[in-house]
Amino acid sequence: MKNFSHATRESVALAMDGKSQLAFDRLSLVSPRQEALGDGRTIIIPEAESLTKLSEEAVRRMSFFLRTSFIEDIASAFASQTASSYERLALGSLLENALCSAGGVLPLCQDTGTATAYVWKGERVLPQQDADLEAAIEHGMLRAWNKHLLRNSQVAPRGNSSQKLLLETNTGTNEPVYQEWFSCPGSAMHFLFVAKGGGSSNKTALYQETKRILEPARLAEFIDNAVRNLGVSACPPYTLALVLGGQGPEESVLAARLAATGALDGLPLDSSDGSPCRDSHLETLVLDSARRSAWGAQFGGRFMARAARVVRLSRHAASFPVALAISCSAHRQLYARVDASGYYIERLASDSDIRNILATHRIGAGTHGIVDTGTASDGESIALADTAALEQVNLADGPSAWRNLKAGSMVRLSGTVVLARDAAHARIASMIEKNETLPDWSRYPVYYAGPTGTPQGYASGSLGPTTSKRMDSYLDSFMGRGIFPCSIGKGERSPACAQACAQHGGVYFAAVGGAAAIAAKRHVRSSRILDWEDLGMEAIRLVELVDLPVLVACDSEGNDYYERLSRQRT
């Protein structure tokens, strides 16, 4: 019987994506030095700088490019006759975003994630004298973060327990890098690089169940509830991963996170000896549950999930951990390996690959309401999300601009907003508590967002919404004082949002999550830091939006579109 560690390293070495083996590019680096041991075995000695360059290239690729299978799934859903117009808007925006990001300038998502490296190091791989392989990998990942203006999202504790508040500060570099290393036989290194955004990471869940969960009706009910509770705030279509069992909760959660990346796709589909395996029947059950959930690809419909993985693990007879994890529409992970022959890295979908996929699905001028506007290679060439017929709303008109809008409508927003997220909301709340004068910009509509760095020639870096629900506890207090009279974000919210909107005449707009590159290129006219620069990526910015397509998720009468969706399960 294979344990989880053994089965995982075998799966990672296979580098499968579903039923297909992934393609790799060899980097133009000198192969590791080899030395023979006295017992006939050979060791390899990779150079630290080569590992740095490998990890730097891994971050670059997964920040701007997606796997071909993911593009295929989104294109197939977009072209499906069962896709609603709202789903096509979201899915089309994601396809446009992939094209735009493939230009290598604007990253796929504004949340470029926590830099993560899983490493399986062969016992016959040795570092150069005094070299620190872990430090070499971290250096490469952070070098890519700086070079490509990726967002620094990591905050770290500062101060001590004797202080009145538990304080944090942005590290300013996206440090620390998260690494997990595993020892294994052989003379090769295998890597799984991941950029995990906060929204999708927040959906990781651990349940402590009993053997009764294996009763078919109970398991089906559990899956339905777990999928329904995911909502859409983490930017579907999702890759859903469910793990049943584990020799402890830590193993179960790790397996779920790896399964969501595809790293366990090489597991067998059955187990005759109790080794870890995938369960294809339950994967179909999870996908069916997602289709029936009514959440859809962000704005309702059938395409909440593009794939599912269910993994069965051994467990203690008195313990039954169950873990759930997802990967969002910024599906960013990448394999790499080092062996005696050189340094290899996974090949992702290029601009031309994406266009070929669109052509295969007959996505082009004259189909599905798509408008072809040229042949540029930066994503402007195909307007997949047809928004021309949507009502225009100018935020400069104040409450009259949104007071008559109805929940469930799609509109195009233009006007000036401030970007303010978690740290800014906490600071404003502290100012209210201290009776301090509030800044004038607090009267603007708020967009819950924090962009990547701004490339030369652009008004903004990639700019997309963060999860709105995290700001719900502030809404009533803020709106009652005229602070942020309307908001833009993503996903469903708690009843506190509907109550505050009804009481204070506010409105909540939901933008497409995961389409940050095309949003920055097409819908941002200007952006500048206005205040609180010490908050790093959470600093207050003044941004002028142009025709940003959004859903009226909660109107000024307190009608909540997402709450209505949650009751429409089929």
Residue-range domain boundaries for the chain:
198-329, 387-566
DSSP per-residue letters across 485-519: SEEEEBS---HHHHHHHHHHT-EEEEEPTT-HHHH
Question: In this predicted structure, what is the pLDDT of residue 368?
Answer: 43
In angstroms, the CA 546 to CA 317 distance is 58
Per-state percent for the chain, helix, strand, coil, to nearest 5: 35, 25, 40
Task: Give me the pLDDT at residue 270, please.
Answer: 87
pLDDT of residue 161: 65
DSSP string, 384-438: -S--TTSEEEEGGGTHHHHTT--TT-EEEEEEEEEE--HHHHHHHHHHHHTTPPP
Of 170, 166, 287, 312, the residue nearest 227 (C-alpha): 287
pLDDT tens for 206-234 read: 999 999 999 999 999 999 999 999 999 99
The dihedrals phi and psi of 240, each to the nearest 5 degrees, come to -100, 135
pLDDT for the residue numbered 450: 97
Tokens, residue 474: 């502030």
Cα gap 357→76, rounded to integer Å: 9
Helix (H/G/I), strand (E/B), else coil: 142: helix
Q: Are 108 and 100 in contact (CB under 8 A)?
A: no
Strands lying side by side in the sheet with 205-209: 205-209, 320-327, 238-246, 305-315, 277-278
* Confidence (pTM): 0.94
Whether the CB-CB separation of 137 and 196 falls below 8 Å is answered with no
Residue 416 corresponds to which amino acid?
T
Q: How much is the pLDDT for 386?
A: 66
Question: Cα(113)–Cα(150) distance, rounded to whole angstroms?
Answer: 9
Q: Which fold has domain 387-566?
A: fumarase (3.20.130)
C-alpha 255/C-alpha 157 separation (Å) is 29
Q: Which amino acid is located at 393 in the chain?
A: V
Cα separation, 6 vs 3, whole angstroms: 5
Strand 178-184 with 114-122, pairing = parallel
Secondary structure (3-state) at 218: helix
pLDDT in tens, the chain (570 residues): 899 999 999 999 999 999 999 999 999 999 999 999 888 889 999 999 999 999 999 999 999 999 999 999 999 999 999 998 999 999 999 999 999 999 999 999 999 999 999 999 999 999 988 889 999 999 999 999 999 999 999 999 987 766 656 788 999 999 999 999 999 999 999 999 999 999 999 999 999 999 999 999 999 999 999 999 999 999 999 999 999 999 999 999 999 999 999 999 999 998 889 999 999 999 999 999 999 999 999 999 999 999 999 999 999 999 999 999 999 999 999 999 999 999 999 999 999 999 999 999 998 644 444 433 333 333 333 456 667 778 999 999 999 999 999 999 999 999 999 999 999 999 999 999 999 999 999 999 999 999 999 999 999 999 999 999 999 999 999 999 999 999 999 999 999 999 999 999 999 999 999 999 999 999 999 999 999 999 999 999 999 999 999 999 999 999 999 999 988 865
Amino acid identity of residue 387, one-letter, is T
- For 180, 190, 211, 222, 310, the CA distances from 255, given in Å and listed in that order, are 13, 17, 19, 19, 10
Closest C-alpha among 318, 222, 304, 550 to residue 415: 550
Q: Which residue has 């020799």 as its token pair?
A: 247
Q: List C-alpha distances in Å: 541 to 151, 185, 430.
A: 15, 51, 20
Task: Count other Cβ atoms within 10 Å, centred on residue 360.
Answer: 12
pLDDT the model gives residue 505: 97
